[in-house]
Amino acid sequence: MKKLTLSLLFLIGFYNVWGQDYNLQYPTNALRYYGQDIDAGSSKYTAMAGASGALGGDISSTEQNPAGLGVAISSEVSITAGVDAYKNKSTFGSVATTKDNLFDIRQASGAFVINNPGSNWNRFVIGVNFLNEQLDNEVILGENTNVSYSFDNNQNYVMNAYYDGVSGYKTKFSVNFGTSYNDKLYLGANINFHETNYTNSLLYRDRNVANNALEYFDVNGSPYAEVGRGFSFGLGVLGKVNQNIRLGAAFHSPVWYTVDEEYHALTNSGSYEFFVSDYKLQTGARAVGSIGFVLGKSFALDVDYTHHFNKMLDFSNGSFSGEKQFVDDQVNNTSEVRVGGEYRYNNFRARAGYAFVQSPMKDVTLITNHTDADGDYTVTTDFDQMYIGDANKLSFGLGYDFGGFYIDATYRHVNQKYTMPLTGYLVGQTSDFGLPSTYSADVKNNRNLYMLTLGWQF
């Protein structure tokens, strides 16, 4: 099993702060790139911030509550394309910015209604839904002259850049079942097939102070790639309290993944070789509670609360004692709140939504002991929401129904801040050059998403 070390250059002299070496790669990547929920859906669903657990109707609403499919009264097919533009601003001695935009098909679905007249169970609906989320992201840390060291030949170097780049995708294919009991009670279930496929490259560059020559290093263990395939299920119920109020509840199981990985790493003999391995991953489950308000056919409002059971994250088929301890000590179960509404006027639709997603990472203050020519001293480093920050999502959308055929457009803005540590083990450690590895950068991430959905109801 790989132990990826994301610290600067060579690492020796580990100081075990908590009595456990915390390898960050597996648990933080599991929280960022794997999981039951996926950031994709139709334009309508996204414009309302995904708040749909008590309203249903749109097949993307099954992401919150599978029972929402039973609300559909017409069969429907749709496809959604989008442009996702991101910008990262890092502060680490100097300020560096990266940005890019990506075009892709984000959603394709079909829902088929089977009416059952003469029965209290008056409608059955079968739906299939394909969702696609791009994981591409790049963070660059600029030059920091405070990070310096010297070789025995008296050559002095400073950190010139650090690069963390991810390229890949996450998909989810769902088979959904919904039913209606007298259009007052709705039940639903789905089975889901997940795939996460990504490559991560980590590079370090230093500058020779004497001649400004640049030298490049692959961080040990990089580049590495993972392909995870898994399955999950969801169950939901939705009911009408009266003509204006609806309530919903749903449970989404963990995803059980098998992950194949490949990577380059230094061996004990000093050679840089290629390795492959695999492991089992269980993500956290989530539970969703929803309340909806409906005023005739002109206005609808939905509020969803989601509880993420992040501490259910687990690893097997390998040596993962440190990773499991990290989850126990440094990961929280978290909350998510979504609020979304839609206003209809004749054939026009206007939508808006807001979502707040809490970071699963605890804030950590790391105090490490070091010794140099001047004696003993301590270094204190704050890791505030490592790799994953609180996320705020604001969205707006418009739509028009041509009478069967419809078109929806959406814009969404997401922002979050997080701390990026320059180490793969959350321990105090020094290198050959006397550098404490407890450096960290502040990163601000902004994403703008532009979406268009084409659909047909029949």
Question: What is d(CA 455, CA 291) in angstroms, rounded to the nearest whole number?
Answer: 27
Residue 437 has pLDDT above 50, yes or no: no
Whether residue 4 lies inside any domain: the answer is no
Residue 234 lies in a domain: yes
Calculate mean pLDDT across residues 175-184. Answer: 97
6: in domain: no
Q: Report the CATH number that the domain containing residue 343 is assigned in CATH.
A: 2.40.160.60
Other residues' Cβ atoms within 10 Å of the Cβ of residue 238? 30
Tell me the backbone φ, ψ of residue 68, rounded to 5 degrees.
-60, -25
For residue 223, say if its preceding peptide bond is cis, omega within 30 degrees of 0: yes
pLDDT at 396 over 60: yes
What pLDDT is stored for residue 153 in this prediction?
66
- Cα separation, 262 vs 228, whole angstroms: 12
Q: What percent of the chain has pLDDT over 70?
A: 87
Mean local confidence (pLDDT), 73-80: 97
Q: pLDDT band for position 217 (50/70/90)?
A: confident
In a domain, 2, yes or no: no
Give the range among 157-171, 245-259, 398-412 with minimum mean pLDDT. Answer: 157-171
Structural domain includes residue 7: no
Q: Does the pLDDT value for residue 201 go beyond 50?
A: yes
HSE-CB of 154 using CA atoms within 13 angstroms:
0
* Residue 276 located in a structural domain: yes
| pLDDT at 287 exceeding the cut of 70 | yes
Number of domains comprising the chain: 1
* Domain assignment of residue 251, yes or no: yes
Selection from 4, 108, 25, 144 nearest residue 453 by Cα: 108
pTM over 0.75: yes
Q: Kindly tell me if the per-residue pLDDT of 365 is higher than 80.
A: no
62: nearest Cα among 235, 300, 240, 195:
235
Helix (H, G, I), strand (E, B) or coil at 359: coil
Alpha-carbon distances, residue 398 vs 28, 276, 342, 352, 426 (angstroms): 36, 48, 9, 9, 46
- Please give the share of the chain, as a percent, with pLDDT higher than 90: 69
What pLDDT is attached to residue 36? 83
Cα pseudo-dihedral 431, 436, 442, 447, rounded to 10:
20
Residue 113 domain flag: yes
For residue 211, the SS3 value is: coil
Q: Provide the residue range defining the domain that includes 443.
A: 12-457
62 burial (CB, 10 Å; 0-12 / 13-18 / 19+) is buried
Question: At residue 244, what are phi and psi to the nearest 5 degrees?
Answer: -110, -20
Residues making up the chain, counted from first to last: 458
Say yes or no to pLDDT of 391 above 90.
yes
**pLDDT tier for residue 263 given thresholds of 50, 70 and 90:** confident
Whether residue 370 contacts residue 379, with contact meaning beta carbons closer than 8 Å, is answered with yes
SS3 313: coil
Q: Please check the confidence at residue 458 and state whether its pLDDT lies above 60.
A: yes
* The pLDDT value given to residue 370: 60
Q: Sign of the C-alpha dihedral, residues 68, 73, 77, 82?
A: negative
